[in-house]
Chains A and B, each alone.
Chain A
Amino acid sequence: MFSNLPLLSLIIWLPIIGGMVVLFASRGETGLQRVLALAFSVATFLLSIPLYTAFDVATPQMQFVETAAWIPSFNVNYELGIDGFSMPLILLTTFFTVIVVVAGWQVIKKHVAQYMAAFLIMEGLMNGVFASLDSILFYVFWEAMLIPMFIVIGVWGGPRRVYAAIKFFLYTFLGSVLLLVSILYLYFQTGSFAILDFHDQALGMTAQTLMFFAFLIAFAVKVPMWPVHTWLPDAHVEAPTGGSVILAAIMLKLGAYGFIRFLLPIVPDAAAEFDWFVIALSLIAVVYIALVALVQEDMKKLVAYSSIAHMGFVTLGLFVVFSIYRQTGDVAGAALGVEGAVVQMISHGFISGAMFLCVGVMYDRIHSRRISDYGGVVNTMPVFAGFMVLFALANTGLPGTSGFVGEFMVILSAFQVNFWIAFLAASTLIFGAAYTLWMVKRVIFGDVTNDKVAQLNDVNRREFWMLGVLAVAVLLLGIWPAPLVDVMHSSVDHFLNHIVTSKL
């Protein structure tokens, strides 16, 4: 029934058009604007569901492909398609846009239409990034996406929003420029802008090395990896709740997605040469950043640092393959790492999104993010405390929650490379628990510490459902991750065999 529809185009353009419509309604009632935004986001989410149900898990080929000439003189095409890597990420995007619209429902009072429109447009653009098979199209979406996020932070953000917004923009923009240069180089080599043509292009080691670092900088900023991570805590602290949620849940995944779509398949030999470098940065993210997270006094900063540490598992999982292949001459054991990385991306989306929503729920009431302004929240907000403790435990990678699955897989895979890599990665069990639960202890537990906490109201129905849906997702994915992992097997196998084949 859906097979005839250009689903990918729809989920890209419907929210963008929806954003425009909401903007046109900006003179009208805010109630109408909200309802419109919700309607468009829900419609987009519903349209994205067939991408899962009609997905053919047996093939690594791109699916739901759409092609149209765009700029024929340069061989630039409007080409869309998804595989086992991008499909789950698109579902995550469409899902979280609904959540963000709901999260901003009563909270945003200033420029409601513009706020909602920014998120709808951002949704379309992010879906565009995940679905693009043409590098120029990818690049346009990739850059355009920065604009609504820049506006969201700059307009609805906190006191230092301008510094944070500019830092965010410049950091990512710096990376993007290098990405563009690489794309142009590849165009001159292949005569095409199709990403899949780039994958098949033979390249010398010098070209690969240069492009490896160009891609690495471009995508590492987005992930973000140490030491190009410092924009993230600032951006999160200043961004409104919705901005933080999208930033953490989706935007960070774009960097990792870039590794999967560009870096690893296009310059595999350079990646194999420098894999130790990325692994080292990933481990620094896991250990160093976790210790930094431990001493944060701002809840959003703490969750932001925790995000960086958790994303370290994604980059680690993606880069263990080369060592395994060198040691055994086989990719067995590496699929665990790559699939673990993707699971970690999805799971981190749910958990970090939920954590930022939790911080937002408290911020909406007390207007502080400082840990020391809280204490004993469970006394006045028991239901909320239940959710927060659940998400916090998921953040510590507790089995039975989604947080466990990806980390478990990546650690198992990393052990095959080297005991010490697994050792450092597994330290997250201790540090992750330390920074998360210490925050929970100081914020949630204890006796009521001040009058503001004493007057807190528990979550309302809107917040309950918003957190409840996420709680179910986190638990479901932890108890039964097979439905998620099964869609990637073919793509992952293809990917692994591709990147261990030399291009020299």
Chain B
Amino acid sequence: MDKVYLILALSPLVGAIIAGLFGKKIGRAGAHWATIISVAISFVLSLFVFNHIVLNDAPTYNATVYQWLLSDAINFEVGFLVDELTATMLIVVTFVSLMVHIYTIGYMHDDPGYQRFFSYISLFTFSMLMLVMANNFMQLFFGWEAVGLVSYLLIGFWYKKPTAIYANLKAFLVNRVGDFGFLLGIAAVLMYFGSLDYAEVFAGAADHAETTIAIFPGIEWSLITVICILLFVGAMGKSAQVPLHVWLPDSMEGPTPISALIHAATMVTAGIFMVSRMSPLFEWSETALSVVLVIGAITALFMAFLGLIQNDIKRVIAYSTLSQLGYMTVALGVSAYSAAMFHLMTHAFFKALLFLAAGSVIIAMHHEQDMRKMGGLRKYMPITYWTALIGSLALMGIPPFAGFFSKDTIIEAVGASTIAGSDFAYFAVVAGVFVTAFYSMRLLFLTFHGKPRMDEHTLHHVKESPKVVTVPLILLAIPSVLAGWIALSGMPFGDYFGNSIVVFDQHNSLAIAKEMHGGEPWHFLTHGIMTLPFWLVIAAIVTAWVFYIAKPEIAGIIADRFSGIYRVLSDAYGIDRLYYAVFAKGSQLLGRGFSSVGDARLIDGMMVNGAANSVGRFSSVVRRLQTGFLYHYAFAMIVGLLVLIGWFVLAR
């Protein structure tokens, strides 16, 4: 199996290198074939691994690839851990990546950076695989930063666009804030556990349950809580949780395929995956779980609100992604890790689908992204419409689409949980359901229904996208329909994840939810349509229909009536402006102060040049003694002689 895992991980890297370094030689077709084949190999091997680990219940694979570094008797290694959790991520990552690779042929067809793009997305796939296959914290951090790097490169892919290179810098820096906490968490793990290997650290967790650490002198905090919160800061950066969410909406400046792959399906879920992986640690700290829960709940609801008023089709989906990541985080907070992973998986399918469908619309609209200039596209783009509809229904949580099962599982788990903050979280995730359904329907109505609002020229050229675009849409639509039904009884409610996820009995909210609502798809479904969330979705659909189809003038009236709220929302709560003023401008101000006052005036002005000047001044005074007149010198000698004689005589 060693070779299988190695090839699985390295194959996209080889593809990336071929397309990146030899892109000119092999041409456009060469580049897309090289990368698509390399990712296809990974996908096929992922299926094989899935079959091996999950279906045939093979033991967990945990082995070293090579020793990165040995220092201070600490072994830093690159190695693979493949269990049910990893195998699931492998499928999600390689499948979505493969779809996006194929789709890119159509989407980037006319782009001069064609080969470069393929090279980047393959490099991303490699980085993501290294992240999910890691068997230690160091490699996790490697993958963690590497996906951030590729995200940086891809958001800024159209490097001539000022907004794109602003967005990618912002994304990198905000992610670095997360990584900063993450790295400190890793340092704490190493200090107390003496190892960075998952297995060793998890095995030692129980021994450190009572250990405390004094961050501030005299105040003892639980070690595990500190570690978990620091690690979670990393997840907040990567998975764009409030208050580190600000980079994700801007990341939409990148080409749409990467919005689907990186900023919806895979990279942004790395934080969710990481916390699930760390469940043996998080279970020991209810404080940390509560923090996770509250942060997730805030993100789930308040980011959903922002989706309501966006006019850029991609930004609606981006805020939706933020909100859905909040749902996953909420699930983590109530120890429903498997429900988080379940939603991660279904979300990867339907959100990638939605982004790619939006991309298909954008191609047809000649790179117009404003929904106010769309409308009525249903007639012209039937495949895009139907797949986008499936994606939206899944997102809204309409049974029996995939999102219904995964989202309802989370809601039920939160309802069953008793951890601090779960009441607020329950309110947030239930209210979020209405908001989600409303903005989803708004997107569908504005884009595909009603009268066309684009100009004649654009309307004349609107047509369905080519097969390389629509086939991935269809292939993604299939799991968006079926994945929930298939996986429900096993993944969140069965023991699908085996030992890869640890849940303490007193935290097991899913077990309670299962007892109350059933763990079988049919039972779950019939029960689901009798509960509040389902009726909230229906209510939202009707409201959206009234607003955007039946009486389109209402939306404007409401925006006017509640203009205060509207302004706050369109300003995204003012967080971006605040960060820009405080952090960006503040650190420049500090830097200028240090530079002009500290370095230039104090150190150079007073100490360095000051010393030089005082030597100069001193010598200019002393120079006057050198008059050149012999009698001055003779006089000085006589005076000196007298003083010396006097001193000798008097002192003795």
Distance in angstroms between the alpha carbons of A378 and B113 in the assembled complex: 12
Chain B residues in 8 Å Cβ range of A333:
72, 191
Is A481 within 8 A of B69, CB to CB? yes
Is A339 within 8 A of B607, CB to CB? no
By DSSP majority rule, is chain B's interface helix, strand, loop, or mixed? helix
Is B588 within 8 A of A295, CB to CB? yes
Q: Determine how close the nearest CB of chain A comes to the CB of B130; give it in whole angstroms.
A: 10
In the complex, identify which listed stretch (B168-176, B406-414, B562-570) lies at the interface while the others stay far away: B168-176
Is B146 within 8 A of A400, CB to CB? yes
A411 at the interface (CB under 8 A from B): yes
Interface residues of A in 221-271 (CB under 8 A from B): 227, 229-231
Is B190 within 8 A of A415, CB to CB? yes
Is A437 within 8 A of B172, CB to CB? yes
Is B184 within 8 A of A441, CB to CB? no
Q: Determine how close the nearest CB of chain B comes to the CB of A462; give it in whole angstroms.
A: 20
Is A446 within 8 A of B183, CB to CB? no
Interface residues of A in 474-504 (CB under 8 A from B): 479-482, 485-486, 489
Chain B residues in 8 Å Cβ range of A411:
183-184, 187
Render A394-426 as a binary contact track against B, CB cut-off 8 A, 1 for contact: 000011100011001101111110011011001
The residue on B at minimum CB distance from A332 is: B72
Distance in angstroms between the alpha carbons of A420 and B187 in the assembled complex: 12
Distance in angstroms between the alpha carbons of A254 and B288 in the assembled complex: 46
Choose among A229, A400, A482 the residue that contacts B69 (Cβ–Cβ < 8 A). Answer: A482
Distance in angstroms between the alpha carbons of A400 and B165 in the assembled complex: 23
A26 at the interface (CB under 8 A from B): no
A183 at the interface (CB under 8 A from B): no
Given the known interface contacts A393-B149, A412-B190, A419-B215, the answer about A335 and B183 at a Cβ–Cβ threshold of 8 Å is no
Choose among A291, A296, A430, A479 the residue that contacts B176 (Cβ–Cβ < 8 A). Answer: A430
Among B66, B179, B594, chain A packs the most CB atoms within 10 A around the CB of B594
Distance in angstroms between the alpha carbons of A456 and B164 in the assembled complex: 23
B70 at the interface (CB under 8 A from A): yes
Chain B residues in 8 Å Cβ range of A413:
72
Chain B residues in 8 Å Cβ range of A288:
594, 598
**Additional A-B contacts beyond A227-B603, A411-B187, A433-B173 (20; CB < 8 A):** A167-B608, A230-B603, A292-B594, A292-B598, A296-B595, A336-B71, A336-B72, A379-B160, A400-B142, A409-B71, A412-B190, A412-B191, A415-B187, A426-B180, A426-B184, A427-B180, A430-B177, A441-B166, A479-B68, A482-B69
Render B83-126 as a binary contact track against A, CB cut-off 8 A, 1 for contact: 00000000000000000000000000000000000000000000
Render A425-439 as a binary contact track against B, CB cut-off 8 A, 1 for contact: 011011101100110
Distance in angstroms between the alpha carbons of A480 and B73 in the assembled complex: 17
B333 at the interface (CB under 8 A from A): no
Chain A residues in 8 Å Cβ range of B152:
437
Is A335 within 8 A of B173, CB to CB? no
Given the known interface contacts A333-B72, A399-B145, the answer about A291 and B180 at a Cβ–Cβ threshold of 8 Å is no
Given the known interface contacts A379-B160, A400-B146, A445-B165, the answer about A291 and B69 at a Cβ–Cβ threshold of 8 Å is no
Interface residues of A in 37-87 (CB under 8 A from B): none
B188 at the interface (CB under 8 A from A): yes
B467 at the interface (CB under 8 A from A): no
Render B138-153 as a binary contact track against A, CB cut-off 8 A, 1 for contact: 1001100110010010
B64 at the interface (CB under 8 A from A): no
By DSSP majority rule, is chain A's interface helix, strand, loop, or mixed? helix
Given the known interface contacts A332-B72, A332-B73, the answer about A480 and B146 at a Cβ–Cβ threshold of 8 Å is no
Is A423 within 8 A of B184, CB to CB? yes
Choose among B149, B173, B191, B598 the residue that contacts A430 (Cβ–Cβ < 8 A). Answer: B173
Task: Give the size of the chain B interface in residues (CB under 8 angstroms).
Answer: 53
Is A430 within 8 A of B591, CB to CB? no
Is B190 within 8 A of A480, CB to CB? no
Is A293 within 8 A of B604, CB to CB? no
Q: Determine how close the nearest CB of chain A comes to the CB of B68; give it in whole angstroms.
A: 6
* Size bracket, chain A contacts: 35 or more
Chain B residues in 8 Å Cβ range of A420:
215
The residue on B at minimum CB distance from A479 is: B68
Chain A residues in 8 Å Cβ range of B591:
291-295
Interface residues of A in 281-330 (CB under 8 A from B): 288, 291-296
Chain B residues in 8 Å Cβ range of A419:
184, 188, 213, 215
Distance in angstroms between the alpha carbons of A408 and B166 in the assembled complex: 28
B162 at the interface (CB under 8 A from A): yes
Chain A residues in 8 Å Cβ range of B138:
408
Distance in angstroms between the alpha carbons of A460 and B593 in the assembled complex: 41
A360 at the interface (CB under 8 A from B): no
Q: Determine how close the nearest CB of chain A comes to the CB of B310; give it in whole angstroms.
A: 26
Chain A residues in 8 Å Cβ range of B156:
445
Is B183 within 8 A of A429, CB to CB? yes
Choose among A294, A404, A482 the residue that contacts B587 (Cβ–Cβ < 8 A). Answer: A294
A-B residue pairs in contact (CB < 8 Å), sample of 7: A170-B612, A171-B608, A335-B72, A415-B188, A422-B184, A480-B68, A489-B71
The residue on B at minimum CB distance from A336 is: B72
Q: Determine how close the nearest CB of chain A comes to the CB of B620; give it in whole angstroms.
A: 19
Render B602-623 as a binary contact track against A, CB cut-off 8 A, 1 for contact: 1110011000100000000000
Choose among A171, A416, A446, A482 the residue that contacts B162 (Cβ–Cβ < 8 A). Answer: A446
Is B607 within 8 A of A227, CB to CB? yes
Interface residues of B in 540-565 (CB under 8 A from A): none
Distance in angstroms between the alpha carbons of A339 and B71 in the assembled complex: 7
B650 at the interface (CB under 8 A from A): no
Residues of B within 8 A of A (CB): 66-74, 138, 141-142, 145-146, 149, 152, 156, 159-160, 162, 165-166, 169, 172-173, 176-177, 179-180, 183-184, 186-188, 190-191, 213, 215, 587-588, 590-592, 594-595, 598-599, 602-604, 607-608, 612
Chain B residues in 8 Å Cβ range of A294:
587-588, 591
Chain B residues in 8 Å Cβ range of A340:
71
Chain A residues in 8 Å Cβ range of B141:
399
Distance in angstroms between the alpha carbons of A378 and B588 in the assembled complex: 26
Given the known interface contacts A405-B69, A446-B165, A447-B160, the answer about A434 and B173 at a Cβ–Cβ threshold of 8 Å is yes
Choose among A167, A296, A409, A430 the residue that contacts B180 (Cβ–Cβ < 8 A). Answer: A430
Is B608 within 8 A of A433, CB to CB? no
Distance in angstroms between the alpha carbons of A396 and B261 in the assembled complex: 25
A376 at the interface (CB under 8 A from B): yes
Interface residues of A in 170-194 (CB under 8 A from B): 170-171
Distance in angstroms between the alpha carbons of A426 and B185 in the assembled complex: 11
Distance in angstroms between the alpha carbons of A332 and B188 in the assembled complex: 15
Q: Determine how close the nearest CB of chain A comes to the CB of B191; give it in whole angstroms.
A: 5
Chain A residues in 8 Å Cβ range of B159:
378, 444-446
Q: Determine how close the nearest CB of chain A comes to the CB of B463; give it in whole angstroms.
A: 31
The residue on A at minimum CB distance from B190 is: A412
Distance in angstroms between the alpha carbons of A230 and B610 in the assembled complex: 13
Interface residues of A in 433-480 (CB under 8 A from B): 433-434, 437-438, 441, 444-447, 479-480
Chain B residues in 8 Å Cβ range of A444:
159
Distance in angstroms between the alpha carbons of A434 and B594 in the assembled complex: 16
Distance in angstroms between the alpha carbons of A434 and B173 in the assembled complex: 7
Distance in angstroms between the alpha carbons of A291 and B587 in the assembled complex: 7
Choose among B146, B183, B188, B595 the residue that contacts A295 (Cβ–Cβ < 8 A). Answer: B595
Q: Determine how close the nearest CB of chain B comes to the CB of A131; give it in whole angstroms.
A: 25
Distance in angstroms between the alpha carbons of A400 and B166 in the assembled complex: 25
Choose among A230, A415, A423, A482 the residue that contacts B599 (Cβ–Cβ < 8 A). Answer: A230
Chain A residues in 8 Å Cβ range of B215:
419-420
Is B587 within 8 A of A230, CB to CB? no
Chain B residues in 8 Å Cβ range of A433:
172-173, 176
Q: Determine how close the nearest CB of chain B comes to the CB of A123; give it in whole angstroms.
A: 29
The residue on B at minimum CB distance from A340 is: B71
Chain B residues in 8 Å Cβ range of A292:
591, 594-595, 598-599
